[in-house]
Amino acid sequence: MKSFQEEILEGIPDYIPELPNFDLNINRAPKRRDILSPKEKVLAIKNALRYFRPETHNFWAKEFANELKEYGRIYMYRLRPKHPIYARPIYEYPAKSRQAAAIMLMIQNNLDFAVAQHPYELITYGGNGAVFQNWAQYRLTMKYLAEMTEDQTLVMYSGHPMGLFPSHPDAPRVVVTNGMMIPNYSSKELYEKYNALGVTQYGQMTAGSYMYIGPQGIVHGTTITLMNAERLRTGETLAGKVFVTSGLGGMSGAQAKASVIAGAVGIIAEINPKALLKRYEQGWLTEYYDDLDKLLLRAEKARQNKEAVSIGYLGNVVDLWEKVAKLDFVVELGSDQTSLHNPFSGGYYPVGLTFEQSNELMARNPEEFKKYVQDSLIRQVDAINQLADRGMYFWDYGNAFLLESKRAGANIMNGEKFKYPSYVENIMGPICFDYGFGPFRWVCTSGNPADLEKTDKIAQKVIEDMLTTCPTEIKQQLEDNLKWITEASKNKLVVGSQARILYADAEGRMRIAKAFNDAIAKGEISAPIVLGRDHHDVSGTDSPYRETANIYDGSQFTADMAVQNFVGDAFRGATWVSLHNGGGVGWGEVINGGFGLVIDGSPDSERRLKSMLFWDVNNGISRRSWARNQGAVNTIKRAMEKEPKLKVTIPYIANEAEIEKIIQELN
């Protein structure tokens, strides 16, 4: 058998490999819609054959025709490598460039069987968040990364490695774009078609950008959201308060852990037993029931005792909502994290059908399945409305719940506006993003937990220092983040790579990164660190119902910020950059971008991190400030005081009543 290194260097083999075994315990992507006409199927297969020598075409063509029929997509399962895929220590990768080796580590983490949602189909999370479209792309990309030098850049078109191009050491090693469409061709329907043709993919946020760090990535943000939701509702803590929601999948699984960390009684419905058991076995879900009466008795007891628990309901969330709405059961907080960015192809399981029936119907009769989904959303919203009338605070969790419910005809509108806010509109936007706080993260490429522990301590010390001089308006955030990082290792959040997330503002990110770089230089940390973030951040994402939902000057429907961010990161020192269509809320609904930056203790790393992180956060703050968000105006003014080379245009605030008078007089 070939070693891991040999298999990487081989790339796409010349011969036809044996079909690897499928482990039946691994979660599989649902069959995708058979959407192509016979003529388009020919094109899809012809496209796929571009990776193979002509003498093997006859064999592969039959195999791919079969995959299209069986799975709706061509995954090239036969090319799945024999080597186990996981984030190995950086020095194990066959590579000429250390930066490229770090990227290989990050790619492998995204496809680790313990991390990825549907690893056989190269899906990391969110139902369709792909790293690659097929296994040939994985093999070819890893080979290119192994061969590349520091004066080349690998160009990735939606999972397809277009190739290595000459560049220079200061350029990004990889530039990724996923799903970039001509705007008029960016509908969900067309996504299915072009994805099946093999010319585009849905990269989500951190899947196709190699920056997923398991559900931990979202636990911190979810904890912040939960704590601030109750602060908004009553100003109190979450002890003895009930939070009802759904989803124990890739990101949504974080709700279980966050409920416990935040001190609430979390009740989380999940229809897929595999997804629920994964979280239970991992210890994030403290217990589960498939009987609603038993579940509610247990939850009531937990409320009385002020226990911090996460109780799973193995079943449909609509049944859960309708049951609590019918009873006198008090629910303080509510949300939903089914994958409604992908409503009709497996993201949402409608009430009245079993999990298996849904999987069968969505492939066999998409129109009938769509009707089930929409009827289910109408029922779900009716139940949520009853609880909201009784005092529950409900928010959209960035999964397009409000949007899809509206499209389904549910009772979700108050005139022109949705009845409920998105979590960004009321919480993440005004409390975090406007001040620059976002999901900063790092990965210790040694794979050594001791390195991660050191980074936790370093970050903790930086925040403690910042708390001594910070302005009052960010004190609460810093205190929450200090608590988070102090307890992070106790909470056992690592799944996959030795990674940590920590919400931080521009100053915090730069100071923490510099302190890491110094520690690597002194040998206190044993190997380079990858810095990055979720795209779901201050500057990374233009998404009118999510990240930019608290922008009210009309520019929430523009995407200049995300594109500027991607380009600006690229020439300020990022190791790789990515720009995607659709992350989080769905194809055509958002443009999002991100970066990865490898620091190795050198002065060059220090130059890059200062320049790039400063831009990466302040770009978004300046845009939020121009949209008249007061927190952002204050924050960008402070940044200008500290950095004389920063000169941002500050808005003058007009008197709206005066303008209205002028308009009325004209009419």
Binding ligand NAD by CB under 6 A: which of 8, 261, 269, 412? 269
Shortest spacing between CB 595 and ligand NAD, in angstroms:
19
Task: Please pick, from the candidates 251, 362, 502, 504, the single residue that binds ligand NAD as defined by CB under 6 A.
Answer: 251
Q: Which of the ranges 243-251, 384-392, 473-481, 513-521 carries the binding residues for ligand NAD, by CB under 6 A?
A: 243-251
Q: By CB under 6 A, name the one of 99, 153, 316, 498 that touches ligand NAD.
A: 316
**Which tokens hold the place of 2?**
């070939």
Side chain identity at 187, as an amino acid letter?
S
Q: Which of 109, 110, 209, 338 binds ligand NAD (CB under 6 A)?
A: 338
Helices 560-570 and 603-626, axial angle in degrees (round to 10): 170
Q: Candidates 179-187, 217-225, 281-289, 505-513: pick the segment binding ligand NAD (CB under 6 A).
A: 217-225
- Residue 221 is a binding residue for ligand NAD (CB under 6 A): yes
Binding of residue 254 to ligand NAD (CB under 6 A)? yes
Query: How far apart are alpha carbons 221 and 206 in whole angstroms?
Result: 15
Give me the residue label for tokens 């220090």.
606
C-alpha pair distances (Å), 105 with each of 498, 499, 599: 11, 12, 15
Task: Give the other-Cβ count within 10 Å of 28's Cβ.
Answer: 16
126 binds ligand NAD (CB under 6 A): yes
- Please identify which residue in the block is written with the tokens 């119902």: 545
Q: Tell me how far apart the alpha carbons of residues 86 and 516 are, in angstroms, rounded to a whole number.
A: 24
We find the least distance from the C-beta atom of residue 234 to ligand NAD, in angstroms, to be 22
**Minimal distance, residue 520 CB to ligand NAD, in Å:** 30
Q: Which two tokens stand for residue 273?
A: 């037993």
**Stretch of 249-257, 285-293, 298-306, 556-564 lying at the interface with ligand NAD (CB under 6 A):** 249-257
Choose one: 271-279, 381-389, 469-477, 517-525; the region binding ligand NAD (CB under 6 A): 271-279
By the rule CB under 6 A, 337 interacts with ligand NAD: yes
Which residues are registered as beta bridge partners of 176?
156, 578
Stretch of residues binding ligand NAD (CB under 6 A), selected from 33-41, 244-252, 614-622, 624-632 = 244-252
**Cα dihedral 152/157/161/162 (nearest 10):** -70
Q: Please report how close the Cβ of residue 240 comes to ligand NAD at its closest, in angstroms.
A: 24
Nearest of 134, 126, 92, 84 to residue 109 by alpha carbon:
84
CA distances from 551 to 221, 358, 398, 419, 437 (A): 20, 37, 15, 18, 16
Cβ 545 to ligand NAD shortest distance, Å: 11
Under rule CB under 6 A, residue 209 binds ligand NAD: no
Binding mask 353-372 for ligand NAD (x = CB under 6 A): --------------------
Q: Note whether 51 binds ligand NAD by CB under 6 A.
A: no
SS3 438: strand
Which residues, 473 to 502, sit near ligand NAD by CB under 6 A?
A: none
Q: Which helix (H) or strand (E) holds 403?
A: helix 401-408
Q: Assess 130 for contact with ligand NAD (CB under 6 A).
A: no
With CA atoms as reference, report the closest residue to 251 among 268, 238, 273.
268
What are the strands of the beta sheet with 242-246, ordered from one edge? 287-289, 309-314, 265-270, 242-246, 333-334, 393-394
| Segment contacting ligand NAD by CB under 6 A, of 69-77, 150-158, 345-353, 479-487 | 345-353
**Which residue of 369, 372, 394, 397 would you call a contact of ligand NAD, by CB under 6 A?**
397
Contact flag: residue 398 with ligand NAD (CB under 6 A): yes
Give the range of 39-47, 90-98, 245-253, 596-604 binding ligand NAD by CB under 6 A: 245-253
Closest to ligand NAD by CB, 254 vs 538, is: 254
Token pair recorded at residue 124: 């990391």
- Two tokens at 33? 């819609």
Strands (E) across 34-145 are located at: 123-125, 129-130
Closest approach of Cβ 538 to ligand NAD, in Å?
Answer: 15
For 549-579, b where at least 16 C-beta lie within 10 A, e where not — what string? bbbeeebbebbebbebbbebbbebbbbbbbb
Placement of tokens 């496809």 in the chain: 111
C-alpha span between 544 and 91 (Å, rounded)? 42
Q: Which of residues 519-558 bind ligand NAD (CB under 6 A)?
A: 536
Size of the site for ligand NAD (CB under 6 A): 36
Instruction: Tell me whether residue 430 or residue 584 sits nearer to ligand NAD (CB atom).
Output: 584
Residue among 218, 443, 613, 627 that touches ligand NAD (CB under 6 A) = 218
Handedness of CA 551, 552, 558, 561 (dihedral sign): negative
| Member of 52, 60, 71, 125 binding ligand NAD (CB under 6 A) | 125
As beta bridge partners, residue 280 has none
Residues 562-601 that bind ligand NAD (CB under 6 A): 584
Binding test (CB under 6 A) with ligand NAD, winner from 99, 141, 259, 339: 339
Q: Among residues 30, 119, 127, 601, which is the contact residue for ligand NAD, using CB under 6 A?
A: 127
- Pick the piece of the chain touching ligand NAD (CB under 6 A) from 103-111, 130-138, 170-178, 395-403: 395-403
By the rule CB under 6 A, 605 interacts with ligand NAD: no
What type of residue is 287? Answer: E
Q: Which x/- pattern over 104-123 shows residues binding ligand NAD (rule: CB under 6 A)?
A: -------------x------
Answer for the pair 257, 493: CB distance below 8 angstroms, yes or no.
yes
Q: Which residues pair with 502 in a beta bridge?
A: 440
In the complex, minimum distance from the CB of residue 283 to ligand NAD, in angstroms, rounded to a whole number: 18
Question: Hunting for tokens 């020192």 — which residue is that?
Answer: 573
Binding site for ligand NAD (CB under 6 A): 117, 125-127, 218, 221-222, 246-252, 254, 269-272, 275, 316-318, 337-341, 347-349, 397-399, 536, 584
